[in-house]
Amino acid sequence: MNSARYLYTSLFSLGLVIFAVILQQVGYQGVSFLPCPLCILQRVAYLGIAISCFLAVGITPLRKLFHGLAVLSAAYGASVAARQVWLLSHPESSCGIDPLETWINQFQLVQGLPWLFKADGLCSAKLPAILGLQVPEWSLFWFAVLFLYLTITFFKKQK
């Protein structure tokens, strides 16, 4: 993959995080989308993809390593998103306040950037659908697309 594609992938992942923060701060259809612990973990995965791809642009001798880290971040994010989609379809499995929320909210990074990393919502909360899908379903879709794209380009021979 060339530097421009790494940069575009990085910017796309950052754009998804920015969209999530806009949904959180501004809302959609009059509803504020408070991030749950699984949402925060998905943001971390998107940021992992963005940072890895950005570093692949700047540090070319380690490009394959950073590409591999981006693939792992996408796989991790897809697994977290899949868990949240499962929780949406099985709301009786959720016990309300998630112990993961307490664990996430105690990190220093959360104290410094609460608007980005503080978990306030419930993982099984049904919020208004955006173009027919819930946010975790969209997240799972984009993680799957990024995972496939990054995996295929990881094994593709360079010219």
State how far the Cα of 121 lies from the Cα of 125, in Å rounded to an integer. Answer: 8
List the alpha helices (DSSP H) in 90-134. 99-105, 108-112, 114-117
Q: Say whether pLDDT at 41 is over 60.
A: yes
What percentage of the chain has pLDDT greater than the value 90?
58
State how far the Cα of 67 lies from the Cα of 94, in Å rounded to an integer. Answer: 35
Enclosing domain of residue 136: 3-155
First-to-final CA distance of the chain:
9
* pLDDT tens per residue across span 1-40: 899 999 999 999 999 999 999 999 888 888 888 888 899 9
* Three-class secondary structure of residue 68 per DSSP: helix
Contact between 142 and 16 under an 8 Å Cβ cutoff? The reply is yes
Check which CATH number belongs to the domain holding 122 and give it.
Answer: 1.20.1550.10
